[in-house]
Structure 1
Amino acid sequence: MTDYAIGDIQGCYDALKEVLAKVDFAPSRDRLWVAGDLINRGPSSLKTLRYIESLGDSAVVVLGNHDLHLLAVVLGGHALKRKDTLEAILNAPDRDKLVGWLRQQHLCVHDPDRNFLMAHAGVPHIWSVQQTLDGAREVEDVIRGADAPDYFAMMYGNKPECWNENLTGMDRWRVITNYLTRMRFIAPDGRLELTTKDSVGSAPEGFAPWFEFSRADDLRVIFGHWAALEGKTGIDQFIGLDTGCVWGGSLTMMNLDTGEKIHCDC
């Protein structure tokens, strides 16, 4: 078995199939770790979602902000945004099956043998591995449960800006969600700055890219979400796989054992 991790697909089904063909990917013997944002903005969100779902146990998926947005539209009553390409999913005869499958996916996954954790946006330096897993599981339980409509109705927002163990309810779930699916810039004390989406050099005063803060452990973090990085963090411990496929860049996949990266121009 060979395990591969792939960055933001965002509905670019043809690019996904092309990059998988380059390694002769076979679900019967290989596994695909997907770093979130399977869908949206690209031309084939429905085909992409159906394909990843069809992989069964050969796919390990974390949710990205665009995946959560689909759930927020379906379950939380939110409207589509102007640039969304989710109509085909919403109108599909198997919509409920696909939405149900998406709700069962994770916000982060941990491989202790390889010493890496995968989350769509990354992992804040103020959290240990166990804190990250505990926070993710707490929100995953909400997404899968009867309170999901209320969660998705109130999911959006930039407050609270910082984690506090005493937070409860929606404030607690929202900040966990924001760390794992929206984070780019962060302050030393863990405060998030969620309005700036450009390159590393655009960091607001008092903030820096989350991966520039050292961790107390040697955990490797695999993430997507930040296309402006072009996959470059400058730090071997933090591996960015979003290389802007949907924006005309490339789709990047990495062999988790050798570190080899496979690209497909988009």
Structure 2
Amino acid sequence: MATYAIGDIQGCFSALQCLLERCHFDPARDRLWFVGDLVNRGPQSLETLRFVRDLGDAAVTVLGNHDLYLLMVAAQAVPKRGRDDTLDPVLQAPDRDELLDWLRQQPLCHREGAYCVVHAGLLPAWSADQARALAREVETELAGAGWQHFLQTLWGDEPAAWQDRLAGTARHRVIVNAMTRMRFCSPEGEMEFRSKGELSDAPSGYLPWFDVPGRRSLDGETVLVTGHWSALGLYLRPDLLALDSGCLWGGALTALRLDDRQVFQVECGEGGCIAR
């Protein structure tokens, strides 16, 4: 039995199939951990959703910002942003409701053994166990009957920092924004959402979230498994496995076998995929 953590797919289903062949993935024996952003901008979001859902217990996926965006569009909480969206096949599918119901019941954060899987990152004030508890607050709302109303309140950049006394919409928004959108934050934990570039592009006064001094999830035991930051690329160190290697942008789709940290990649592009 092997467990593979896989970077952002964003509807690049053909690349995912190539990657799983490269890994010799067997759903009867192995497990897949997806770091979120299953959908959008790539050409096969519908096929990706159906495939991951049908894997059942062989797969775990956490929610990414594009997955939440799909749910928000479906709930009419936000309008579709523009021509780079590729969500219509999902929204028009005969099994649309079943797929959306499955998606909204997926976790925002997955904790197992030494690993904590989250799409973007954790604020410096949060331990991995605290993050899991906070994620559960959002997951309860998304899985409930009032999920559409909940999503009406979720969009926005403020507040940009965590405080324990936060409640309601403000509390949920910080949790979601940190776990699905964050790249840079200040030493005090204030998030900055405009910058999407490389580490050297950090705005003045901000750091990559994982380099903030005193980060509580840097405890010598926890390994964070993330995606979201394609400009960062594949970025591996003892406490962090960042797996978004930019498949959507012509880079690679990455799987990392957790058992021995072996990396598997396929190159992505219009011509198909090439095993590395």
For residue 24 of structure 1, report the CA deviation from its aligned partner. 1.3
The residue that corresponds to 1:45 in the other structure is 45
Using the alignment, how far apart are the partners of 1:164 and 1:122 within structure 2? 17
Using the alignment, how far apart are the partners of 1:22 and 1:146 within structure 2? 40
Using the alignment, how far apart are the partners of 2:130 and 2:238 within structure 1? 23
User: Residues 27-84 of structure 1, C-alpha deviation per residue, up to 9 Å, x if partnerless?
Assistant: 1111100000001000100001100001000011100000000000112432212111
The residue that corresponds to 1:174 in the other structure is 173
How many residues align? The count is 263
For residue 99 of structure 1, report the CA deviation from its aligned partner. 0.3
User: Residues 194-253 of structure 1, C-alpha deviation per residue, up to 9 Å, x if partnerless?
Assistant: 1111111111111100111243412110100000011126x4311110000000000000
The residue that corresponds to 1:211 in the other structure is 210
The residue that corresponds to 2:35 in the other structure is 35
The residue that corresponds to 1:157 in the other structure is 156
Query: What secondary structure sits across from 2:241 in the alignment?
Result: strand
Using the alignment, how far apart are the partners of 1:150 and 1:92 within structure 2? 23
1:76–1:151 contact (8 Å) kept in structure 2: no
Using the alignment, how far apart are the partners of 1:23 and 1:232 within structure 2? 20
2:186–2:212 contact (8 Å) kept in structure 1: no
The residue that corresponds to 2:223 in the other structure is 220
Superposition pairs for residues 114-125 of structure 1, below 5 Å? Answer: 115-125=114-124
Q: Which moved more, 1:38-47 or 1:210-219?
A: 210-219
Using the alignment, how far apart are the partners of 2:243 and 2:12 within structure 1? 15
Structural RMSD (CA): 1.1
The residue that corresponds to 2:273 in the other structure is none
Using the alignment, how far apart are the partners of 1:129 and 1:236 within structure 2? 15
Q: Which runs of 5+ in 2 are unaligned?
A: 269-276
2:183–2:193 contact (8 Å) kept in structure 1: yes
Letter in 2 for 1:104: Q
1:76–1:150 contact (8 Å) kept in structure 2: no
Using the alignment, how far apart are the partners of 2:170 and 2:156 within structure 1? 10
Letter in 1 for 2:51: Y
The residue that corresponds to 2:63 in the other structure is 63
Using the alignment, how far apart are the partners of 2:129 and 2:149 within structure 1? 27
The residue that corresponds to 2:256 in the other structure is 254
User: Residues 98-156 of structure 1, C-alpha deviation per residue, up to 9 Å, x if partnerless?
Assistant: 000001100010112xx110100012221012210111000000111133222211211
1:19–1:263 contact (8 Å) kept in structure 2: yes
